Amino acid sequence: MSENIPEDLKYTDTHEWVKMKNEKTVVVGITDHAQKELTDIVFVELPPVGKEFKKGEEMCIVESIKSVSEIYAPVSGKIVAVNKEIEDSPEKINSSPYSEGWLVEIELSNRDEINSLLDAESYKKLLSK
């Protein structure tokens, strides 16, 4: 099974991906592996802009035809943008998890947390277990 794991992203062991947008903001979504496990995504509950999360806290919910999954904040910070398009078209998470299917943008409260995330190679090893 071939997984799409872009080299330029960071990952969590709960299958979120993180991309640096600029010095203090990251874009977050779920990985290709996660969307495949969920199958057809039918609903997304995104957090309100302005809400703050600590790393590891439940941040949003993704619902598929077979399950409901919590999505956790991969880093601590404040939600500065949400992807409104996936509220109307949640299937974009399945078809394009790394671009059109992003979930939120977070303004980092502790940039060092990025260093604790997995790189692509480490994430591949996690999936192979």
Q: Can you give the pLDDT of all 129 residues of the chain as single tens digits?
A: 467 999 999 999 999 999 999 999 999 999 999 999 999 999 999 999 999 999 999 999 999 998 999 999 999 999 999 999 999 999 999 999 999 999 999 999 999 999 999 999 999 999 998
Q: How many residues does the chain have?
A: 129
CB 40 within 8 A of CB 91: yes
d(CA 36, CA 75): 23
Cα dihedral sign, 108-111-112-118: positive
Q: Work out the burial of residue 73: count CB atoms within 10 Å of its CB; fewer than 13 is exposed, 13-18 middle, 19 or more buried.
A: buried
